[in-house]
Structure 1
Amino acid sequence: MANTGPARVVPLNLEQRQCSLKHIALLWGLFPDAKYKGVIPALITEMQETDPQMKGALYYLAGIEKKKHALAFKQLSPEEQMNIIDAIIRLRAVISLLPDRVTYIDCDPLPNKTE
């Protein structure tokens, strides 16, 4: 039977978004899908090759000490790997709240267009 009622949207704050995404990640862990295996290590490798600062920021957010920032995902301890995944979940929650249009309009002074 189709749902014919009006759509309902419940606004979530950042903490609720993070908690919800973590809960979903735990549920997905109960029903693993082989096509998603290796996605996180591939992401970390891509970050290392294209934007090492972003990888460093992710490792920092995960609470991984700086001397281990050069390590690949699989070289980290299981606890550190879980911390990386938790950091990605936190980032996803924050990103969902970013404005659609990001401009320099809030800069004081505005950047010079000719530079």
Structure 2
Amino acid sequence: MFLTEQLAGLREPEAPSFKRYFYLLENLAYVKSFNICLELESNQEIFCKLFKLLFSIINEKHTAKVSSFMLDIMCPLITEADAVSQEMLDVILVNIIEPQKVSCKPTIL
């Protein structure tokens, strides 16, 4: 999905174009744009890709606002979904449960 790919620009907070990507993240969080995907049959595939990306790019250089906006996007996708796939659970749990969490980059949580 185009928007998911664009969020990869958040990887480097020092990059000149970071403000543009932050603006995109902020607006996606406020408008809850990804929530419309809940109606799609392939929503779990879209959400897995999004979650993998967000978990892979967040790091200690990011501000609390960045992680807060990421959580604002992610949480409703879990809580409002009719079901959560095993793949989606794996993506989430591998980033928040020991010992795997230790070997991963700093996560949102």
TM-score, with structure 2 as normaliser: 0.27
Q: Which of the two has higher C-alpha Rg?
A: 1
TM-score, with structure 1 as normaliser: 0.26
Higher helix share: 2
